[in-house]
Amino acid sequence: MNQSLLYPRTTARRRVVDLGGLWKFQFDPESSGEAEGWTQKLPAPVSMPVPSSFADFLTDKDSREYTGDFWYETEFVVPGEWRDKEIGIRFAAAAHRALVFVNGLKIAAHEGGFTPFVVPVSDVITWDAPNTLIVKCNNELREDCIPVGITTTLQNGKKMAKPYFDFFNYAGLLRPVTLTALPKEHITDFMVQYELSGNKAMVHYNVETTGSNRVTVTVFDEEGKQVAAKSGKDGVITIDNARLWNVRDAYLYQFVFRITDGGTVIDEYSEYIGIRTVEVRGTDILLNGKSVYLKGFGKHEDSDTTGRGYNPAMIKRDFELMKWIGANSFRTAHYPYSEEIYQMADREGFLVIDEAAAVGMMTSTLNFVAAANGKPTAFFRKETTPQLLQNHLTAIEELIRRDKSHACVIAWCLANEPETTDESAVPYFEKVFAHARSLDPQQRPCTFTSLMTATPDKCKCAELADIMCLNRYYGWYVKGGYEISDAEVFLRGELEGWKKRCPGKPFMFSEYGADTDAELHKLPSVMWSQEYQEEYLEMYHRVFDSFDFIKGEQVWNFADFQTGEGIMRVNGNHKGIFTRDRQPKAAAFYLKKRWERLGNDFKSK
Ligand code: GCB
């Protein structure tokens, strides 16, 4: 059976203890820790907050750029009262891979830094006494893992990560680590899908458990009133006069799942669930049967000091800013985000395009350089491709298993800017798309974001996508500044090409943007000035508004974010509409006017 990825919640029968705080931490540049017994105790640790990325706390460059193995250590006590429970340690994210040791025993390994895993520990702990938890992480980039990159060794012997992607390679125990105590017989997963008929919602559900006792599902509305109940591991629950979840108008029912034996509740799990349907029909993206236009951003989980670490304060601020500016959606570029972000999106009625960490799938050391030089290459013909595919499929499984019940998730983005210009991408992505489609009970649309060189005459994979997402930078990497009038001609020309190649498919812009210095004003504008960012956006919007099949606009990026060093980046990527500390640039006020004017049903017939 697949591992349970349910969000850890304390309920009548479940217990969750947050293990966050200051842990011990040590770099292991020689990878000698295991041989030297670090699995028992770290020899010379420093303190390190968990959850967080480690990179931006430290004041020397070797530490910030550290690439290789690094170790965490803490202690936990499990109360003897829980002897009859199944005890686990849940890592919400350990980037990019981890080995877990409890009391010196190696008990688990996990590849992939953005999805959770649970390590069962009942058999290795001492009750009522301190147990040692040691985690060996590794943040090396490879061509057979996602996100994709390589690791090189400098002349001085130090390793260095070379991402094929444009964001800092933050790593560590990025998200909460929790101790969980579940009943031996417990719920491991559930799924829901919807059918609407008049005022009625039929919720088809399925509950997985570890045993054979009776399962019940009870549904409560937002007032706490019971509106439906059903027993059985699968079935259909009918909700009369159902209030649907809608864009920026969320309504969440509470579903309580129980395992019962006679009058005894053996396990209980509950979740807030929005009822809605998502479908692509012709060039429309339909939510509850009505056409919706996406306004918003490609984002990152990125903030000062904590890096990619879980930062609930920043999550809150970001949602307030997205509401302020009139956005209704975002894409989790370029990896699955913290679970709490989807919970907030469910609550606030934001539409999320949920992305796997499949980024950097092109032959280049930096994807935007490849985008600019347009040389034909063949990323999916490498000898690493079979292993990469395997890791990619597993990551998609974990993503869909984790996020499938969120109302906010309206599409799966299976890769960012893969090199789809070579035939070798076709069999690769046929497998990726088929896999995702076989896993999602709600059959949400699947997509990938298309790289600028993958024009309508060159892209080999467009037909696989239910919604075609374009990342385009005419007016920035190509034909920038005074040439922007030519950029507009190119952009229009490309869209005419797409209209012919894929008639009857919805398109959206998943990236378009211009780097902008929050301090720089210039009249008339120059590239990098606040004025240019606005002119660039106005040009794109003029074009979008003249093509009916463009059904969404997500600006790159919501906020400035950290990247690696290089001549293309000035302490990070500055395409943010907000600064890294989440204050508006001038274009934010322009976007606010536009998005408040465009309804969620913009371009619906
Ligand atoms: C892209 C990438 C994104 C980069 C962006 C840029 O196409 O998907 O990760 O940050 O371009 O700013 O160049």
Residues 84-121 have pLDDT tens digits of: 999 999 999 999 999 999 999 999 999 999 999 999 99
The SS3 call for residue 499 is helix
Residue 513 CA: nearest ligand 1 atom is 12
Residue 417 CA: nearest ligand 1 atom is 8
* 359-381 pLDDT per residue, tens: 999 875 444 444 455 554 589 99
With a pLDDT cut of 90, the percent of the chain lying above it is: 96
What is the reported pTM?
Answer: 0.97
- pLDDT over 60 (residue 198): yes
Distance CA 104, CA 106 (A): 7
The sheet carrying 69-77 orders its strands as: 46-50, 21-28, 69-77, 130-138, 97-102, 105-111
**pLDDT recorded at residue 365:** 43
- pLDDT over 80 (residue 138): yes
Residue range 462-481: average pLDDT?
98
Distance CA 255, CA 330 (A): 26
- E strands of 164-263, at which residues? 172-173, 177-183, 187-197, 200-209, 214-220, 226-231, 234-239, 253-261
Residues with a catalytic annotation lie at 417, 511
Place of tokens 């090409």: 497
Question: CB-hemisphere CA count at 13 Å for 102?
Answer: 21
Please state, as a whole number, how many other Cβ atoms lie within 10 Å of the Cβ of residue 297: 28
Say if CB 509 and CB 517 are below 8 A apart: no
Q: How far is the CA of 92 from the centre of ligand 1 (A)?
A: 26
Residue range 307-331: average pLDDT?
98
**pLDDT recorded at residue 363:** 77
**pLDDT recorded at residue 94:** 98
- Cα three-residue angle 516-519-522, rounded to 5 degrees: 75
- pLDDT over 90 (residue 580): yes
Q: Where do the domains of the chain lie, and which CATH numbers do they carry?
A: 15-183 (2.60.120.260), 187-273 (2.60.40.10), 278-597 (3.20.20.80)
Residues in the chain: 605
Strands 468-471 and 446-450: parallel
- Helix crossing, 530-545 with 586-597: angle to 10°? 20
Please state, as a whole number, how many other Cβ atoms lie within 10 Å of the Cβ of residue 191: 18
Place of tokens 């280049």: 364
Residue 568 CA: nearest ligand 1 atom is 13
Helix (H) or strand (E) holding 338: none
Pocket test for ligand 1, best of 302, 449, 471 (most atoms within 8 A of CB): 471
Q: How far is the CA of 46 from the centre of ligand 1 (A)?
A: 35
Say if CB 216 and CB 258 are below 8 A apart: yes
- pLDDT over 70 (residue 553): yes
Residue 573 CA: nearest ligand 1 atom is 12
- pLDDT over 90 (residue 329): yes
Nearest residue (CA) to ligand 1, atom 4: 166
The ligand 1 site (C-beta within 6 Å) comprises 165-166, 334, 367-368, 371, 416-417, 471, 511, 556, 573, 575
Pocket test for ligand 1, best of 167, 368, 369 (most atoms within 8 A of CB): 368
Strands 97-102 and 105-111: antiparallel
Distance CA 417, CA 550 (A): 19
**pLDDT recorded at residue 61:** 97
Please give the span between the terminal C-alpha atoms of the chain, in angstroms, as a whole number.
Answer: 46
**pLDDT recorded at residue 368:** 47
Residue range 505-519: average pLDDT?
98
Say if CB 74 and CB 20 are below 8 A apart: no
Nearest residue (CA) to ligand 1, atom 1: 368
- E strands of 123-176, at which residues? 130-138, 149-153, 159-163, 172-173
**pLDDT recorded at residue 2:** 59
Considering the chain, what is the average pLDDT of its residues? 96
* 402-440 pLDDT per residue, tens: 999 999 999 999 999 999 999 999 999 999 999 999 999
